[in-house]
Amino acid sequence: MAEDFNASKPIYLQLADRINRQILRKELETGQKLPSVREMAIQSGVNPNTVQRTYSELERMGSVESKRGQGTFVTEDQSVLNQLRQRLKKEQISSFFEDMKEMGFTADEMISGLEEYISDEERGETND
């Protein structure tokens, strides 16, 4: 099944982000083998060279480890996973902050809105 990608960011980085999120959500477990480059290319609907670049980027980040002749595996290094979690948290907050700032919200309004949202979520209320 081909995935949807946007034009604002290179596909290999979008694919790396998706895999990192799967790791943090534990959809991919530590030590788990990733699909082969060819399998991932077919699943994602992208060129195998793009997947190879994705796997190289993930290895550079420390999210995965390549074992010659065996494949690519999710790292078991918890400190690397904690760093990944913190990096993704910061990216999400930065994106949220920039979007809200563009709409004219102040920092205090953002904090107030977040507190209200969290409170509603904890009570099981949703306001779509």
Reference 87, options 10, 31, 19, 20; nearest CA is 20
Is residue 60 domain-shared with residue 106, that is, in the same domain? no
- Whether the per-residue pLDDT at 96 is higher than 90: the answer is yes
Is residue 89 domain-shared with residue 66, that is, in the same domain? no
**What DSSP string runs through 37-86?**
HHHHHHHHTS-HHHHHHHHHHHHHHTSEEEETTTEEEE---HHHHHHHHH
- Cβ-in-10-Å burial (0-12, 13-18, 19+) of 54 comes to buried
Q: Which of 10-24, 53-67, 83-97, 114-128 has the lowest mean pLDDT?
A: 114-128
Quick: pLDDT tens for 99-120. Answer: 999 999 999 999 999 999 999 9
Give me the domain span that covers residue 85: 80-125
Q: Is residue 4 part of a domain?
A: no
CA atoms within 13 A on the CB side of 11: 15
Q: Is residue 1 part of a domain?
A: no
CATH of the domain at 37: 1.10.10.10
In this prediction the pTM is 0.80
Number of domains in the chain: 2
Q: Is residue 43 part of a domain?
A: yes
Is residue 84 domain-shared with residue 63, that is, in the same domain? no
